[in-house]
Structure 1
Amino acid sequence: METNKIALITGATSGIGEATSKELAQLGYNTILTGRRSTRLNKLKQEIETTYQTEVLTLCFDIQDQQQTTYALNSIPTHWRNIDVLINNAGLAYGAEKIDEDAWDKWAQMLDTNVKGLLFLSKEVIKWMVQKKQGHIVNISSIAGINVYEGGSIYCASKHAVNAITKGMRIDLLKHNIKVTSVSPGMVETEFSLVRYDGNRDKANQVYRGITPLSAIDVAEAIVFVVSRPAHVNINDILIMPTQQADAYNTYRK
């Protein structure tokens, strides 16, 4: 294996995770890509290795499951464990009902993925970063981690938790020379809204009606900027929005 830097990206099979995987490979990173959809992982691996001539290791598991997560990470060969960058991207919103109308299973899936999954995976990777006294963790949060909006209480809570965890990580890992960053996007047109509305494409399209939203590449480029700063520079937080969106409440639709 070449001495390229190594990045581990969760939720790599679509959207921001997929775009970030390609952008980092273009910079010469070898990448560890995780996700639940093996066919997509294998296709992305082949594309990256062919296009960028970098090495790719794929791990197919459900980040909600601590045992699966720990088993997958323990299966990583020793020479792949020298991880320079961890992109905690895996996450989802599921449903947009008000709290008195929503279902427990949706809440559990969001909290298990967005909060517990991030912690399960980070715990293992941090051990390796602490050993080498170096690393960079980028947690993908959301405008929902800053503003709370109607119909999003539990999703917003999960992303507020991501922001709090990020700040705590930054303090706790300071002595280990590990950088920690939060990237919080506004509206991004990926599979996000399609998942949120349980595959209802009409509802998903309405989210972006009259707006030019961010693309996955827009966010990936912000991540690349963050991780490519000099060793003495850490970007603590980035809030990135479409021009037509001011915050979680205010948009201008043409």
Structure 2
Amino acid sequence: MMTALVTGASAGFGREIARRLVREGMRVIGVARREARLEALAAELGASFLSAACDMRDISAITHFENSLPASWRDIDILINNAGLALGVSKAQYSHWADWAQMIETNITGLTALTHALLPRMVARRRGHIVMMGSIAGRYPYQGGNVYGATKAYVAQFAANLRTDLLGLPIRVTNIAPGLCGGSEFSAVRLADTEAAAAIYAGTTPITPIDIAEIVSWVVQQPAHVNVNEIEVMPVCQAAGGLAIDRSTNHAD
């Protein structure tokens, strides 16, 4: 039986990915800060789910995470680096440093530390698949995307470089880059306003966490010799917006 570790498993993408992989016959280690939500998911999914409360910004805990697991759960076949967040939509010059720091610590530092902690055992076993949850924000800039988009560009490039370093080993690396997604806490967290978050999805049919779980399931169950490098996915109501042009005349003081 394969074992998957899913970060950010208490809600949204992570929760649906955990549910889907358990239905597919895998064992899943769910990692998140909110222990009560993890325990509720454990009650739903049964013995195939192991709750592991951990803050992705706690680098000391992440470094020793593998040894904190029961011995029978330490051989992790699939790492789903899903935990991440966006905070704020202000232009860079009006943003808060605390928001930038939290995004960097979670989306980059925590993700990188956990990958670093688990990769040696995958290499020793000659078996593993690392799936990054990136974003189209890592490729297409937009006003207010600043540091969030930069963290997701890092995720994409980190995945590509890992794949290069692992050439010659049967270990796969995939970056999944979703576009507009509803049905999660992403926008409510980003805006700290549930009404404003709901307005983002008005008149749209966005991607859902269930859609992302379907994609993850397909990716990880490809034949062992197949590496899906990257998947970019948007709902049909979304497309790249093209370049912006400022036509005002007040460019010079």
Task: Output the TM-score relative to the length of structure 1.
Answer: 0.92
Give the equivalent residue in structure 2 for 1:45: 42
- Note if 1:82 corresponds to 2:75: yes
User: Aligned partners of 1:249, 1:91: CA distance in 2, in Å?
Assistant: 26
Residues 187 and 242 in structure 1, CA contact (< 8 A), matched pair in contact too? yes
Give the equivalent residue in structure 2 for 1:201: 194
Give the equivalent residue in structure 2 for 1:153: 146
Encode CA deviations 1:62-120: one digit per residue, 9 max, x unaligned.
11120122233320122211111110000000011110000100000001000111011
Give the equivalent residue in structure 2 for 1:123: 116
Give the equivalent residue in structure 1 for 2:129: 136
- Note if 1:23 corresponds to 2:43: no
How far 1:59 moved relative to its partner? 1.1
User: Aligned partners of 2:205, 2:101: CA distance in 1, in Å?
Assistant: 32
SS at match of 1:58: strand
SS at match of 1:106: helix
- Note if 1:33 corresponds to 2:26: no
Q: 211, 219, 240: which one pairs with 1:247? A: 240
Letter in 2 for 1:143: I
Structure 1 stretches of at least 4 aligned residues deviating more than 3 Å after TM superposition: none
Letter in 2 for 1:238: I
- Note if 1:91 corresponds to 2:84: yes
Letter in 2 for 1:21: A
Residues 62 and 117 in structure 2, CA contact (< 8 A), matched pair in contact too? no
- Note if 1:10 corresponds to 2:7: yes
Residues 80 and 131 in structure 2, CA contact (< 8 A), matched pair in contact too? yes
How far 1:204 moved relative to its partner? 0.4
Superposition RMSD on alpha carbons, in Å? Answer: 1.3
Aligned CA distance change for structure 1 residues 142 and 20 (closer, same or farther; 3 Å): same
Letter in 2 for 1:174: L
Residues 88 and 139 in structure 1, CA contact (< 8 A), matched pair in contact too? yes
- Note if 1:59 corresponds to 2:52: yes
Residues 67 and 74 in structure 2, CA contact (< 8 A), matched pair in contact too? no
Residues 64 and 116 in structure 1, CA contact (< 8 A), matched pair in contact too? yes
How far 1:248 moved relative to its partner? 6.1
SS at match of 1:243: coil
User: Aligned partners of 1:136, 1:72: CA distance in 2, in Å?
Assistant: 18
- Note if 1:182 corresponds to 2:178: no
Encode CA deviations 1:125-159: one digit per residue, 9 max, x unaligned.
10110110110000000010111110110000000
Which stretch of structure 1 is more off in the superposition, 72-81 or 226-235? 72-81
User: Aligned partners of 1:248, 1:113: CA distance in 2, in Å?
Assistant: 28
Gap regions ≥5 residues in structure 1: none
How far 1:247 moved relative to its partner? 2.6
How far 1:178 moved relative to its partner? 0.7
How far 1:180 moved relative to its partner? 0.2
Residues 143 and 247 in structure 1, CA contact (< 8 A), matched pair in contact too? no
How far 1:249 moved relative to its partner? 6.4
User: Aligned partners of 1:150, 1:61: CA distance in 2, in Å?
Assistant: 32
User: Aligned partners of 1:142, 1:103: CA distance in 2, in Å?
Assistant: 22
User: Aligned partners of 2:168, 2:225: CA distance in 1, in Å?
Assistant: 14
Aligned CA distance change for structure 1 residues 179 and 243 (closer, same or farther; 3 Å): same
Letter in 1 for 2:144: G
Q: 97, 104, 109: which one pairs with 2:102? A: 109
